[in-house]
Amino acid sequence: MRNQKKPNAIRIKSAERGKQIIFYVNGRRTKAYLGETIHAALLAAGYWQMRKSKNQQPRGVFCGMGVCYECQVTVNNSIPQQACMTFVQEGMEVEIDDL
Amino acid sequence: MTSETYDVTIVGAGPSGLSAASVLSEYPLKILLIDENGQTGGQLWRKPVFKPIKKPKIRDRLKAQITVGTTNGYDGQNLRVITPACVLGVFPENYLLLSTADAGVKEIKSHKIIFSTGAREKVRPFKGWTLPGVMTTGAAQILLKTYGILPAPEMLLAGGGPLLYLFASQALNAQGKVMAVLDRTAMLSVFKSIGVIAQQLPKLGQGLVAMGRLLKERVPLKYQTQVIEAKGKNTLEEIIAAKIASDGTILKGSHKRYRTQKLICGNGFIPNIELPQLAGCDLVYDTDKGGWIVNVDTSMETSVRGIFATGEITGIGGGDKAFIEGKLAALSILNQFGRLKTKRNSRQQAKLLKKRLHYLNFGKFLNRQWATSPREWDQIHDDTIICRCEDITLGTIRSWIKKGFNVVHDLKKATRCGMGICQGRTCGPMIYDIIGSYNGSDKHFPKHLTVRTPVKPVFLGDLIK
């Protein structure tokens, strides 16, 4: 479950962003901007744990550049993708394993 | 599967690749420039996806010298840019298997290849480093500079500078709070580094500005301080740091707790040598250059004829070195194609090589700072995860080494370390360090862990198509 007390990553104010879109995180409506990657949008929405490791340990964003494969999330009920290398789209369904 | 032929293929469109492409595209050659990211620029020159309302004041003098277009598609008569595209394999006589986003898998035949695949971040592991909330300086910088997102309202920074100080000042400029900067090196090193960095005035200026900002905001700067544990239930809640002596000994009673939910850490860089290795290029283990690097001569050619390596993969040395080497490789290729008079090439080459030496020295200084001594490895907790993909701890690795599995390839087979989805990119460099510590020397390494196609995970369906 999303930890309500955790500080989110913050979108800086002095920026003109792409079109605002809605995507879904475990079914919940979540705001993002076109041009952002899934990992950026998830962190800004307060989701830090993205999956569990082989021994069920919590994992999230580590390298942020496609090397470590820790940020894998399920996209559109299909294949797992690296959240930091995949861009958000309108209506995208992202499943994270954070229970 | 489509098949295409090029005169030169440049793998990696960071400062090095773009520098080579700029020189080569002036000549009537068929050039392909690719990058696994959706845009060119590599890590150093990532473009923001947002428009900053305030225009940045600093002009990148290297970037200003790039003459090629950087968008996907054809640039003039000679250059083709494909991003994202990932090289899955390299085969004899310069064949590349390329996976592209919209055109499936392609077979590329290229007379000359330049590998400019850059580097990835290195972290000194500690117990709990896998908790969400712990991320690398690179990850933090990408979030801030590319996506305009501050990783957290308040962050604790730790590791080996100078990137740490740079990010700290960037975070402050974005209205973020920096709890403290825990530098594992000695304060004396900071002054020593000024001497080395002074050879590159722009860097010195940049460093002083960053430091000034930190001092102005009264950000606590701690030296010879290393994070030894990260604690938290499902995400980071607390960090424990301790003083570390120059030989790597953790000083008893020097532990301090920091209540934080975001730790940004980094301790150097690792060259991405996987593709050149697959291509059969000789590697050499040189700790002054960042570990395993591609062995090149002064023309940037590797041990395989027609294959060149440039940038961080020939030695960690930053963007300036990468830029120069891209140029050197391009000039060598032009010479080999008979497009440049040898005399003129030698003069240009000599000038560039002299500059290159400066940056190699800078790199040497930094790589030494980023080294983890055997004494220090001895004190890292058994419960520390080393292979994140397979959840293998340092304790497990130690027990197998003691059983006699003290050669990298044997250790991999015994523990599964390096067999996970990241293909040993995160744990690999640590394993060499650990084994080196155990054997008492890094001079007894056989080869780098074997690299096989596909070099990055790919779906079977995409390969079959």
CA distance B163 to B398: 32
Mutate to test the interface with A, among B122, B144, B149 (most CBs of A within 10 A): B149
ipTM of the complex: 0.95
Helices (H), B4-74: 15-24
Across the range B388-401, mean pLDDT stands at 95
Across the range B63-81, mean pLDDT stands at 85
Q: Give residues 130 to 169 of B whose Cβ lies within 8 Å of A.
A: 130-136, 138-140, 142-144, 147-154
pLDDT at B243 over 80: yes
Chain A residue with the nearest C-alpha to that of B50: A17
Mutate to test the interface with A, among B39, B43, B47, B50 (most CBs of A within 10 A): B50
pLDDT of residue A6: 63
pLDDT at B22 over 80: yes
pLDDT of residue A1: 46
Chain A residue with the nearest C-alpha to that of B141: A64
pLDDT at B148 over 60: yes
Instruction: Give residue A4's Cα distance to chain centre.
Output: 16
Could you tell me which of B206, B215, B264, B214 has the C-alpha nearest to residue B56? B206
Across the range B326-346, mean pLDDT stands at 88
Average pLDDT along chain B: 90
Alpha-carbon Rg of chain A, whole angstroms? Answer: 13
pLDDT at B428 over 50: yes
Task: Judge contact between A18 and A35, C-beta under 8 A.
Answer: yes
Q: Is B391–A54 a contact, with Cβ atoms under 8 angstroms apart?
A: yes
User: pLDDT band at A4, cuts 50/70/90?
Assistant: very low
pLDDT at B331 over 90: yes
pLDDT of residue B302: 97
pLDDT one-digit tens code per residue, B177-223:
999 999 999 877 776 766 666 666 667 777 788 888 999 999 999 99
Task: Judge contact between B213 and B252, C-beta under 8 A.
Answer: no
The pTM for the full model equals 0.92
pLDDT of residue B158: 97
pLDDT at B69 over 80: no
Alpha-carbon Rg of chain B, whole angstroms? Answer: 22
Interface contact B391, partner A, CB < 8 A: yes
Mutate to test the interface with B, among A3, A52, A69 (most CBs of B within 10 A): A69
pLDDT at B63 over 90: no
pLDDT of residue B55: 67
pLDDT at A5 over 50: no
**If you count residue pairs, one on A and one on B, with CB atoms under 8 Å apart, how many are there?**
144
CA distance B144 to B47: 11
Across the range B96-116, mean pLDDT stands at 92
The residues near A51 (Cβ < 8 Å, ≥ 6 apart) are: A59, A70, A71, A72, A73, A96, A97, A98
- Helix, strand, coil shares of chain A, percent, nearest 5, are 10, 30, 60
The residues near A53 (Cβ < 8 Å, ≥ 6 apart) are: A59, B130, B388, B391
Coil vs helix vs strand at B261: coil
**Backbone phi, psi, residue A38, to 5°:** -60, -40
CA distance B37 to B86: 9
pLDDT of residue A65: 94
CA distance B160 to B135: 14
What would the DSSP string read from start to end of B148-179?
Answer: -EES-SEEEEEESSSHHHHHHHHHHHTT-EEE
| Count, residues in chain A | 99
**Backbone phi, psi, residue A92, to 5°:** -60, 140
More confident of the two residues B141 and A1:
B141
